[in-house]
Chains A and B, each alone.
Chain A
Amino acid sequence: MTQFRKSITAILLSLVAGAALADSTLLNASYDVARDVYKDYNPMFQKYWKAKTGESIELKQSHGGSTKQVRAVADGLEADVVTMNQANDIEFLADKGLVAKDWAKKFPNNASPYTSTMVFIVRKGNPKGLKDWNDIAAPGVQMIIPHPKNTGNGRNTYLSAWAWALKQPGGNDKTAQEFLGKLLKNAPLFAAGGRDATTTFMQRRMGDVLITFESEAEMIAKEFGKGEFEVVYPSLTMQTEFPVALVEKVVDKKGTRKQAQAYLEYLWSKEGQENAAQNYLRPRDAELLKKYAAFFPPVKTFTVDEVFGGANKAFAAHFKDGGSFDQIYQSK
């Protein structure tokens, strides 16, 4: 309760202080569960920026579904920077001319300061012995995932399974689609979103396996207790990126290019990277990755660029109307 009161006071104070003292203001439009990451990151950057330039800066956050957010930016939400969880959302802004065409090269690591990966969450003791993707496609197993067509989380799972199937002996697009057909038959439902899938699996006790971000596993542990489940890393899974970009049109108009650029660059600093790690996101910094090795065991991953030739191509081939996902449900 006092914690709550403290944070309310802090918010009120920072609002007053922000309005009175800030030399400039940045708006960060971000995806939904990034709240925790940027809640900690923003004060760090404010301190750093003040020490470096003497300038105080006000940071505002806007959160929502990734696709909804970029549509808002395209429709006129004046965000200086976008920090998303899907490359195709930033591509959309690039197509609209709001973000540089070569946004992925403007920052290191494909403009993604941290990554995560898709993992299996199974019941304690892994009673069904689920080790890899083909185990989940076996008859009698139930898999809980968010909607593969409508959510980023579900799409990552779909593409992970597809990439795994491609890598099997004799694997091609046809066998991969057949495999996905088998796998999706084991989904008794498609959850509305990532957190809804977690609730369905953990609280309503449905299904044998939940497939979600590695970073979610730690959230589940906090919420439901560590002893309730186990994390399984499949033999191949997707390295999910969280790309960031400058909204060129907005920073030019507001004259905040310098601050916005620094805000994003600082994500790659030691402090920024450590903050990501503490929020269970894999830092790019090799040393920190080693320091937090207990959280982040080694896992064989692929990127969407490597296997699918980019986020836009993957989306068009699999999740557009008439794509491979729709075909699976039409052949019945």
Chain B
Amino acid sequence: MAAKTHRVLPGFGLALGYTLVYLSILILLPLGGMVLKASELGFGQIIDIALGERSLAAFRVTFGASFLAATINAFFGLIVAWILVRYPFPGKRFVDALVDLPFALPTAVAGITLATLYAGNGWLGQYLEPLGIKVAYTPLGIVFALTFITLPFVVRTLQPVIEDIETEVEEAAASLGASRWQTFVKVIFPAIFPALLTGFALAFARAVGEYGSVIFIAGNLPLISEITPLLIISKLEQYDVLGATALAVVMLGLSFILLLAVNVLQWWTANRHKNNEPLEVAAAKASGGGQ
């Protein structure tokens, strides 16, 4: 007879049941319905739809632009989060609130605004186009829109983690003789890297599915600047619900694989970090006279 484990908080069974039902209704049911609908097509047909010239080009644009946007945000989002946590400056609360705006703005408004800004006669476009940089109605415009939309994911994921790093650890590293660069690379970065990956993954996932803002700035030219969600809409215009779900399922599968990879990577780095050394040890090591 297995010993019954007693948990500190009551209601575990209820909460777990609730979680499973909630997730099933909210996520599994619609997605399952979608997969079921797509399964009306044979596997071969789904592959044919996914491997068409237009679909492949759209997948390239969608995933490529999303990856770029998430990477840009991983870099600049880290800087923004760092500044917001570590340095006091006038208007900090205001800047902090600004970060959330892309969440709140209807995406179509964001797309139209960006297109107006970067068009040949826009505030920014008029200076960029003479330099040969075209943003609106090019794939670059897609990257810009996605970067705008996904900024909050990285910043908001990193902020609490950076807050948790005690300044004492940095001081310890410094007092033990680590250079600033060493402190960052050996002490701080390993601590925030898992959260950075999470932020990256969230931003990437959001970008892949984005439609509203992109269509207004993309230009939507076949093989050049068509995103996969646009092809899905195009199939719906033809009353081809099956084809649309097939594309959606393939997109979902690709996203799932990529997110899983990011999660594994994150789990691996977090584990390594945890098993190997607490921060204090890392601090001592970093300063260990160039190892």
Binary CB contact string for chain B from 82 to 95 against chain A (1 if under 8 A, 0 otherwise): 00000000000000
A205-B121 in contact (CB<8A): yes
Given A67-B236, A71-B239, A192-B216, answer yes or no on A329-B121 (Cβ-Cβ < 8 Å): no
Q: Which residue of chain B lies nearest to A187 when distances are taken between CB atoms in the complex?
A: B221
Q: Which of A191, A205, A319 contacts B120 (CB 8 A)?
A: A205
Q: What is the chain B residue whose CB lies nearest that of A196?
A: B216
Contacts of A150 in B (CB 8 A): 230, 233-234, 237
| CA gap between A318 and B215 in the complex, in Å | 22
Residues of A within 8 A of B243 (CB): 321
Tell me the bound Cα distance from A185 to B137 in angstroms: 15
Residue B238 contacts which of A187, A319, A329 (CB distance < 8 angstroms)? A319
A321 to B246, CA, bound (A): 14
Chain-A contact segment, one of B2-10, B111-119, B147-155, B188-196 = B111-119
Q: Which of A191, A192, A206, A315 has the most CB of B within 10 A?
A: A192
Question: Taking the complex as formed, is B253 at the interface, i.e. its CB lies under 8 A from any CB of chain A?
Answer: no
Whole-angstrom distance from the CB of B213 to the nearest CB of chain A? 11
- Nearest chain B CB to A310 CB, angstrom units: 16
A residues neighboring B (CB under 8 Å): 67, 71, 92, 147, 149-150, 187-192, 196, 199-200, 203-206, 315, 319-321, 326, 329-330, 332
Residues of A contacting B40 in the complex (Cβ-Cβ under 8 angstroms): none
Interface of A is mostly: loop
Chain B residues contacting A206 (CB-CB under 8 Å) are 119-120, 137
Residues on B with beta carbons closer than 8 Å to the beta carbon of A149: 234, 237
Q: Closest approach, in angstroms, between the C-beta of A329 and any C-beta of chain B?
A: 4
Contact B116 A203 (CB under 8 A): yes
Find the A residue at minimum CB distance from B240: A321
B220 contacts A189, CB within 8 Å? Answer: yes
Check if B215 sits within 8 Å of A204, measured CB to CB: no
Residue of B nearest to A95 (CB): B239
How far apart sit A286 and B220, CA to CA, in the bound complex (Å)? 41
Q: Contact: A92 with B219, CB < 8 Å? A: no
Q: Which residues of B contact A67 (CB under 8 A)?
A: 236-237, 239
Tally of B interface residues using CB under 8 Å: 31
Contact across chains for A192 and B220 when beta carbons are under 8 A apart: yes
Report B209-263 residues with CB < 8 Å from chain A CB.
215-216, 218-223, 225, 230, 233-240, 243
- Residue pairs across A and B with Cβ atoms less than 8 A apart, 11 shown, are A71-B236, A71-B239, A147-B234, A150-B233, A190-B221, A192-B220, A196-B112, A205-B120, A319-B238, A320-B238, A326-B222
Q: What separation, in Å, do the CA atoms of A186 and B223 have in the docked complex? A: 16
Q: Residue B102 at the A interface, CB < 8 A?
A: no
A204, B237: Cβ atoms under 8 Å?
no
Q: Are B120 and A329 in contact (CB under 8 A)?
A: no
Give the residue of B120, B220, B239 whose beta carbon is less than 8 angstroms from that of A147. Answer: B220
**What residues on A are CB-neighbors of B230 within 8 Å?**
150
Residue of B52, B115, B120, B230 with highest tally of chain A CB at under 10 A: B115
- Give min CB distance, A191 to chain B, whole Å: 8
Q: In the complex, what distance in Å separates the CA atom of A321 from the CA atom of B247?
A: 13
Decide: A189 and B221 in contact? CB cutoff 8 A: yes
Asked whether any CB of chain A lies closer than 8 Å to the CB of B60, the reply is: no
Whether a CB of chain A sits under 8 angstroms from the CB of B54 is yes
Shortest C-beta distance, A207 to chain B (Å), equals: 10
Is the CB of B53 closer than 8 A to any CB of chain A?
A: yes
B177 is an interface residue with CB less than 8 A from chain A: no
Give the residues in chain A near B220, CB-CB below 8 Å: 147, 189-192
How far does the Cβ of B212 sit from chain A's closest Cβ, in whole Å? 9
User: What does the 1/0 interface line of B133-150 toward A look like (CB < 8 Å)?
Assistant: 000110000000000000
Question: Given A150-B237, A329-B222, A329-B223, do A204 and B122 touch, yes or no (CB 8 Å)?
Answer: yes
What's the Cα separation between A3 and B209 when bound, in Å? 41
Q: Quick one: closest A residue to B218, CB to CB?
A: A189
Q: Which B residues are CB-close (under 8 A) to A315?
A: 238
Give the distance in Å from the alpha carbon of A203 to the alpha carbon of B54 in the complex: 31
Could you tell me if A204 and B121 are in contact, using CB atoms closer than 8 angstroms?
Answer: yes
Is the CB–CB distance between B219 and A332 below 8 Å? no
Kindly list chain B residues whose C-beta atoms are within 8 Å of the C-beta of A188. 137, 219
Report chain A residues within 8 Å CB of B237: 67, 149-150, 319
Which A residues are in CB contact (< 8 Å) with B120? 204-206
Q: In the complex, what distance in Å separates the CA atom of A147 from the CA atom of B52?
A: 20
CA distance A187 to B137 in the complex (A): 11
Q: How far is the CB of B228 from chain A (nearest CB, A)?
A: 14
Mask, B21-65, CB within 8 Å of A = 1, is 000000000000000000000000000000011100000000000
**What 12 additional pairs, Cβ within 8 angstroms, besides A189-B218, A319-B238?**
A67-B236, A147-B234, A149-B234, A188-B137, A189-B219, A200-B115, A204-B136, A205-B121, A315-B238, A321-B235, A321-B243, A326-B54
Chain A nearest Cβ from B50, distance in angstroms: 13
A92 and B136 CA atoms in complex are apart in Å by 36
Q: Which residues of B contact A189 (CB under 8 A)?
A: 137, 218-221, 225
CA distance A150 to B119 in the complex (A): 23
Q: Which of A192, A204, A319, A320 makes the CB contact (< 8 A) with B119?
A: A204
Residues in B whose Cβ lies below 8 Å from that of A200 = 115, 119
Contact B238 A321 (CB under 8 A): yes
Q: How far is the CA of A152 from the CA of B237 in the complex (A)?
A: 10
Most buried by B among A67, A150, A206: A150
For A196, list chain B residues within 8 Å (CB). 112, 216
CB of A97, distance to nearest CB on chain B (Å): 15
In whole Å, how far is B290's beta carbon from the nearest beta carbon of chain A? 55
Cβ distance B77 to chain A, nearest Cβ, rounded Å: 28
A79 to B219, CA, bound (A): 35
In the complex, which residues of chain A have a beta carbon less than 8 angstroms from the beta carbon of B221? 187, 189-190
A131 to B48, CA, bound (A): 43
